[in-house]
């Protein structure tokens, strides 16, 4: 199997570690294979790929979309290092308002699967970072929502105290508990 799938403390969020084949020429790794992901319980078909680059201290998020455009995401960092976070925003869920976070980097080549119903955000901890991610639904501005990055009720332990935010991300409100 070319992947190791590790369920995190919120079991719907899955850390994916690809098998990496390295030699003197460089490396090769599969980063997505629908049959393997489906066998691990990740059944989405991804329909949109995104690529972003950010500087150290930039925090993007916490973003999510609502139905009928709620998105599952498969996130990876191909250059640099980020701290990646998923927050359960599913009303009625036993883990509503809980979060999980993990380091994604070009060194560990790990991916984070975030199902729909979760807000997603990350902060760059290296000088710069490039993030690529797959989405199960296309971006729809009319269905986009967010949660403020430092919501005290959620209590995310970000590795930065004073991140660089977009105006939109800085204007988000707390999650309604």
Contact 62, 87 (CB under 8 A): yes
What Rg value do the Cα atoms of the chain yield, rounded? Answer: 16
Dmax over CA atoms of the chain, in Å, equals 53
Distance between CA 52 and CA 33 in Å, rounded?
A: 22
DSSP 8-state class, residue 143: G
The residue whose two tokens read 């294979």 is 33
Query: Is 145 labeled as catalytic in the residue annotation?
Result: no
Query: Is 133 labeled as catalytic in the residue annotation?
Result: yes
The CA-atom distances, in angstroms, between 37 and each of 14, 30, 31, 106, 134 are 10, 12, 10, 21, 13
Of 34, 133, 143, 172, catalytic: 133
The length of the chain in residues reads 177
Catalytic positions are 63, 133
């Amino acid at each position: 199997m070319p992947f190791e799938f590790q369920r995190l403390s919120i079991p719907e969020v899955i850390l994916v570690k690809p098998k990496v084949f390295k030699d003197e020429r460089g490396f090769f790794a599969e980063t997505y294979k629908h049959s393997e992901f489906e066998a691990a319980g990740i059944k989405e078909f991804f329909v949109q790929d995104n690529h972003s680059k950010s500087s150290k201290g930039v925090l993007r998020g916490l973003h999510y979309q609502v139905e009928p455009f709620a998105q599952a995401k498969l996130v990876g960092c191909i250059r640099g290092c980020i701290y990646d976070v998923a927050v359960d925003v599913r009303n009625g869920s036993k883990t509503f308002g809980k979060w999980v976070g993990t380091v994604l980097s070009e060194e560990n080549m790990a991916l984070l699967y975030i199902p729909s119903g979760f807000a997603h955000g990350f902060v760059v901890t290296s000088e710069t970072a490039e993030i690529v991610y797959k989405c199960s639904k296309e971006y729809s501005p009319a269905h986009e929502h967010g949660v403020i990055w430092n919501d005290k009720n959620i209590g995310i332990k970000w590795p930065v105290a004073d991140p660089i935010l977009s105006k939109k991300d800085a204007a988000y409100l707390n999650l309604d508990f």
